[in-house]
Structure 1
Amino acid sequence: MTVAARVQTQVQQHQHAAYSRAAGGLMVAVTLTFLVTLAVLSTRINWPASLDEPASVVLPRILEQRPAVMLGYGSYLLSSLLMIPMALLVRRALDPARASALLGIATTLGVLAGVVKPLGILRWLSAMPALAAAYTSPMATPSGRESIEIVYTALNAYAGTLGEILGVAVLGGGWLLLLGCALVQQNKQLLGWSGVLVGLLSLVPLAELFGANVGLLITLGNAAWYLWVLAAGVALLAQPALTRARSHQ
């Protein structure tokens, strides 16, 4: 191998290591910011069970716990937006030559998930606090509160379907499913097959469109999705160190 070829190889290795570290760091960040959401909202507004509670219960609670709601859903928004660079960098880390069509499709789904999920989350940072203030106002009449409850239900149905069904299940689950398949093709069997299984589990919320009660499976699927992303992130962060260690042996 010529000197020029060796230099080029080393540059490519350094670039690949940098992409792996960046992708791994973002995967860990996506999970940790979601854990902030879970810790804050579960203790303050009984989330995610609160998503199924009526407006008469949720809206006063939102007003009482507004700082926690802003922090929790703000963290969730950040976690979702981080999916955009995460998906792009995972592609660069796993497919430097951009030769895998499967990873290309997976990346598109991951980026779209990072765009669509926030559309469902933003209602809790903007519309819902406004509805809560109007609902709990001393000037609110019974008919006015009834109208607010109708708006709350309709907004939840629309934004919930957009964020949770399309963003989380179809796009987020589809990203992981295809990413798992690509990892299997690269002979990363454990991470790949576990990604396939978790990706399939993440698609379970689609059953709700047909009236199925799959609440427990949805909770398990969401938890498994973030655990997989965390594990994959740690693996990517460790990869450059392992490569350097082998090169010095």
Structure 2
Amino acid sequence: MPVAIPVGTHLPHAVGVAWAAKLKGEKTVAVVYFGDGATSKGDFHEALNFAGVFKTPTIFFCQNNQFAISVPRSLQTASKTIAQKAIAYGFDGIQVDGNDLFAVIAVTKEAVEKARSGGGATLIEGVTFRFGPHTTADDPTKYRTEAEIEPWKPLDPMIRLRLYLKEKGLWNEEVEQRMTEEAQKEIDQAVVDAEAVPPPGPAEIFKYVFEEMTPPLKEQLGYLKSTLA
């Protein structure tokens, strides 16, 4: 599950998916991604507590980019690491260099294998840094200095991966240009396709909460239609 706009609300959902899979005897593992700011939300603690008690096959991946919008990690939590929070819930927590692609793959793979074998949940803290603004409405110069950013620039995962691939003879400028052009074409086409989809009607908000619409929702839908008629 990707990062959710209402911060942290998707963590309990991921645990629910994992719990359902466990009850059904499936080998499904739920992986949920969130930022360091989400660790201050009640949903985070409820989700990890449930996952610990019932040993659900859940991987909690915290992308710790040092800032929750403008709040630095030092004001977000007093714990030395985010990974160590897992101790309180009775399962493993691991901190990894979030800018090292291969390290992230390795710890995630290990956590998946553990979850599938009945070992329960894992909290992974990927330590990284947010170079740009949080959103287009954000101005990071208001709360951090250029001096704070400089040490992280050489650790940019894109730069590190590019250098690694070049060293292995798997990357060059020609390959990069070709792949960049191909990716841009895909993005442009995706935008065209998305803009061609007609906007949903107001009735759509009632259709996807439950597999079958409940009587109260049907009543509300009927009322909405009558007011729009």
TM-score (norm 1): 0.23
Which structure has more relative contact order (CA 8 Å, sep 6+)? It is: 1
Would you tell me which structure has more helix in proportion to its own residues? 1
TM-score (norm 2): 0.24
Would you tell me which structure has more strand in proportion to its own residues? 2
